[in-house]
C-alpha cells in the first residue's frame, strides 16, 4: 500500500511537468493549428537564460520569473517572425500540409544550435531550490521530496491562473473566440493576429515553467528537453490536443501510468510504454479522452 501511494505521488509530480508541456502545445495548436515542435527549443533557451541568472545571483527564485518572461517573449517573437510569414506564404503546393511541421522543426534545430554556440554542449547542474531528499515520517523516508511538492504546487497554480484568464477575462474570451472562429472574431472587433501572438506568449511561458521546474531534478544540455517534448505531445494527445483541462489530465494520466510501469514492471520499459499509450489512444480514441470530434482533421 505504501509503495502504491509513493508511486502515485511520484507520478503526479512527473505528470505535472508533462501537463505543463502539453499545455504549451495545446495553446499553440488551438490558436494556430500548428503542433509547435520548436517548443522544446524555446523552453531550453529560456531555461538557459534562467541558468545564467542562477549562476550570477545563486538565486533560483530570481531566475524563475526571468525564465518565464523570456519564455513569453521568445514565444511572441516566434509567432511574429516565423509563423506569420509561414501562414502567409506556404499555403499551397505539395509542402503546404507539412510546412508547419518543417518550419517549427527547423526552428528547433536553429535554437538548439544557437544554445550550443553560446553555452556549449556539456551537461550542467542546477542548484535545487528546495531539497530532493524525501519527506520523512517517523522512521520511513518516502521518495516524494519537497522538490516534487514544489513542482506539483506551482503547476497547480499555473493551471489555475490560465483557467482564470481563459474563463474570467476579456482576453481569455478573445483567445477562445479567435481560436474557435477567427473570421467571426475578427468581424466582432477582436485583433486576431495580436491575440494569437499573446497565445504564443502564454504557451512560451508555460513551456519555460516546465523547463525550469524539471531541470533541477535532471541536468541541463541543449537537448535535455527532447524527451519532455515527446511526453508533452503524448499527454496533449491523450487530452485531445484541444482542451486545457485535457492537457492537465493527460499529463497526470501519463505521469502516473509511467510511474507504475517504472516501479512495478521494469525501468527499461518507460519509453515503449509511453509509445504504446500514444498509439493506443490514437487508434482507439483518436479525439482524445477529453476533446471534440473535429480535432483530428486540420
Contact (Cβ atoms closer than 8 angstroms) between residue 146 and residue 152: no
196 binds another protein (CB under 8 A): no
293 touching another protein, by CB under 8 A: no
Q: Of the ranges 13-21, 55-63, 200-208, 266-274, which one interacts with another protein (CB under 8 A)?
A: 266-274
Given the complex with another protein, which of 217 and 223 has the nearer CB atom?
A: 223
The dihedral formed by the CA atoms of 204, 205, 210 and 214, expressed in degrees to the nearest 10: 110
Whole-angstrom Cα distance, residue 108 to residue 41? 5
Q: What is the spatial distance between Cα 105 and Cα 111, in angstroms, rounded to a whole number?
A: 10
In the complex with another protein, which residue's Cβ is closer, 73 or 270?
Answer: 270
Give the integer Cα–Cα distance in Å for 77 and 82. Answer: 8
Residue partners of 155: CB distance under 8 A and separation at least 6: 16, 17, 19, 20, 209, 213
Q: Does 272 bind another protein (CB under 8 A)?
A: yes
Return d(Cα 71, Cα 204) in angstroms, integer.
5
Letters for 75-104 (x = contact with another protein by CB under 8 A, - = none) are -------x--xx--xx-xxxxxxxxxxxx-
Binding to another protein (CB under 8 A) within 132-191 occurs at none
Helix, strand, or coil here: 213? helix
Contact mark string toward another protein, 232..251, x via CB under 8 A: -xx--x--------------
* β-strand partners of 220: 124
- Binding residues for another protein, rule: CB under 8 A, are 29, 34-35, 37, 82, 85-86, 89-90, 92-103, 105-110, 112-114, 116-117, 120-121, 223, 226-227, 229-230, 233-234, 237, 268, 271-272, 274-275, 278-279, 282-283, 286, 296-298
Amino acid at each position: 500500500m505504501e509503495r502504491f501511494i509513493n508511486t502515485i505521488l511520484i507520478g503526479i509530480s512527473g505528470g505535472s511537468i508533462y501537463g505543463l508541456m502539453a499545455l504549451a502545445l495545446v495553446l499553440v495548436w488551438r490558436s494556430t493549428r500548428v503542433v509547435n515542435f520548436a517548443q522544446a527549443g524555446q523552453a531550453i533557451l529560456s531555461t538557459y537564460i534562467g541558468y545564467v541568472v542562477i549562476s550570477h545571483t545563486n538565486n533560483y527564485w530570481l531566475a524563475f520569473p526571468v525564465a518565464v518572461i523570456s519564455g513569453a517573449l521568445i514565444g511572441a517573437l516566434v509567432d511574429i517572425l516565423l509563423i506569420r510569414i509561414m501562414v502567409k506564404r506556404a499555403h499551397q503546393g505539395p509542402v503546404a500540409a507539412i510546412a508547419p511541421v518543417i518550419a517549427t522543426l527547423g526552428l528547433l534545430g536553429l535554437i538548439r544550435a544557437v544554445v550550443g554556440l553560446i553555452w556549449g554542449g556539456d551537461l550542467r547542474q542546477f542548484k535545487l531550490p528546495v531539497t530532493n531528499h524525501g519527506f520523512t515520517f517517523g522512521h520511513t523516508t518516502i521518495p516524494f521530496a519537497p522538490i516534487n511538492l514544489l513542482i506539483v504546487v506551482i503547476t497547480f497554480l499555473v493551471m489555475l491562473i490560465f483557467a482564470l484568464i481563459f474563463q474570467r477575462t476579456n482576453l481569455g474570451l478573445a483567445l477562445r473566440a479567435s481560436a474557435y472562429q477567427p473570421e467571426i472574431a475578427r468581424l466582432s472587433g477582436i485583433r486576431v493576429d495580436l491575440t494569437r501572438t499573446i497565445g504564443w506568449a502564454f504557451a512560451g511561458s508555460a513551456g519555460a515553467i516546465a523547463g525550469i521546474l524539471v531541470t533541477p531534478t535532471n541536468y541541463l544540455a541543449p537537448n535535455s528537453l527532447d524527451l519532455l517534448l515527446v511526453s508533452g505531445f503524448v499527454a496533449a494527445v491523450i487530452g485531445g490536443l484541444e482542451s486545457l483541462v485535457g492537457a492537465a489530465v493527460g499529463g497526470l494520466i501519463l505521469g502516473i501510468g509511467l510511474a507504475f510501469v517504472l516501479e512495478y514492471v521494469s525501468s527499461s520499459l518507460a519509453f515503449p510504454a509511453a509509445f504504446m499509450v500514444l498509439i493506443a489512444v490514437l487508434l482507439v480514441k483518436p479525439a482524445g479522452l477529453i476533446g471534440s470530434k473535429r480535432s483530428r482533421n486540420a
